[in-house]
């Protein structure tokens, strides 16, 4: 890769909070090069040959897990997949013991998803292998934010001054927090929208504006990134029903068609069709949801490659 003289300012990717704007720029440039590689008939490069990576997923995932595994394999790494449900976790083994046992089998990097906020940060204090956070509780999901911003950049060019609305369950979303950090570092204007019960009171301190009116958010933005209601992280009801949520905050194609401009529609997945997005909106020409997923592989290849280069 031609960007290989530069390295990231971090040893682990725990959160976007820790990255500089130059780090993000380097990840985007490297991802664009890998995206070109992925268009070739032979999509594999031997860049991470002899590097062993374990994917440690303590929480369910479709996109992130498959995307990391593809990224690792396309870089020629040796890949081990760990699923908490079939591990010795059920016999009482701790996180640190699990990881130390895996690492003594000569593993170089750990990709980790965990339902506890801060789990990868805790682990990073105890092991030398590079750690990539694949989503920790309600804290951060850095590679999702990177692929989201990369996809916005691909469609709209520089994000400086672009208006991005993040709509939905902001309070329980690690995607929201990582997106806010990433977009602000790239100079975008950010508005969060949703029910008052799903927007944390402190959110304005991150430099974002707030509205409780989804139509106002759509009229304001160039790009709408719509988030899922995370019922699994809510220990008490925060709105009366999904139907009511859908009526007040759900986005339909008719709403998009009623705007005086064409906005870009995004969603990190999984989509609850008929709740935060109608099917005709999710599948419309304005949606870049599957481009986001496709870009995820190149972005994760870039992160893996740059963190591995930094270790050498
Ligand atoms: N966007 C996202 O993190 O999806 P998964 O939970 O399927 O990985």
Q: Whose Cα sits closest to atom 6 in ligand 1?
A: 61
pLDDT of residue 34: 98
Cα dihedral: 44, 46, 48, 51 (round 10): 110
54, β-bridge pairs = 80, 110
What is the three-class DSSP state of 162? coil
Residue 165 has pLDDT above 70, yes or no: yes
Task: Give the integer Cα–Cα distance in Å for 71 and 45.
Answer: 10
* Residue among 144, 168, 225, 295 whose CB has most ligand 1 atoms within 8 A, to mutate: 144
For residue 115 and ligand 1, the question of a CB distance below 6 A is answered with: no
- Write phi, then psi, for 123 (nearest 5 degrees): -60, -35
For residue 133 and ligand 1, the question of a CB distance below 6 A is answered with: no
Distance of CA 163 to the CA centre of its chain: 19
Interval 187-205 mean pLDDT: 96
pLDDT band at residue 1 under the 50/70/90 scheme? low
pLDDT digit string, tens, across residues 73-101: 999 999 999 988 778 887 888 989 998 99
* Residue among 56, 62, 142, 295 whose CB has most ligand 1 atoms within 8 A, to mutate: 62
Q: Which domains does the chain have, with CATH numbers?
A: 2-140+293-311 (3.40.50.1370), 142-289 (3.40.50.1370)
Lowest mean pLDDT among 63-67, 123-127, 267-271: 123-127
């Amino acid at each position: 890769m031609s960007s290989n003289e530069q390295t990231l300012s971090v040893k682990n990717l725990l959160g976007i909070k820790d990255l500089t704007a130059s780090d993000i720029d380097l990840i985007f440039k490297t991802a664009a090069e890998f995206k070109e590689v992925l268009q070739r008939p032979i999509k594999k490069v031997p860049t991470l040959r002899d590097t062993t990576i374990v994917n440690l997923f303590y929480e369910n995932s479709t996109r992130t897990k498959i995307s990391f595994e593809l990224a690792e394999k396309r870089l020629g790494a040796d890949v081990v997949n760990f699923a908490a449900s079939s591990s010795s976790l059920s016999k009482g083994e701790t996180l640190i013991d699990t990881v130390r046992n895996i690492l003594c089998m000569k593993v170089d990097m750990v990709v980790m998803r965990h339902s506890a906020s801060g789990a990868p940060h805790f682990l990073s204090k105890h092991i030398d292998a590079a750690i990539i956070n694949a989503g920790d509780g309600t804290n951060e999901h850095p590679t999702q934010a990177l692929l989201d911003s990369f996809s916005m950049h691909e469609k709209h060019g520089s994000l400086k001054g672009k208006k991005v609305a993040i709509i939905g369950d902001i309070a329980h979303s690690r995607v929201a927090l990582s997106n806010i950090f990433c977009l602000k570092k790239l100079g975008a204007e950010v508005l969060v929208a949703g029910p008052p019960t799903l927007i944390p009171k402190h959110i304005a301190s991150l430099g974002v504006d707030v509205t409780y009116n989804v139509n106002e958010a759509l009229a304001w933005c160039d790009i709408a990134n719509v988030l899922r209601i995370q019922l699994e992280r809510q220990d008490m009801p925060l709105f009366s029903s999904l139907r009511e949520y859908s009526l007040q905050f759900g986005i339909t194609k008719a709403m998009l068609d009623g705007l005086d401009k064409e906005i870009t529609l995004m969603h990190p997945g999984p989509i609850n069709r008929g709740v935060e997005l109608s099917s005709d909106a999710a599948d419309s020409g304005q949606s870049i949801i599957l481009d986001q997923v496709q870009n995820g592989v190149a972005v994760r290849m870039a992160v893996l490659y740059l963190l591995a280069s930094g270790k050498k």
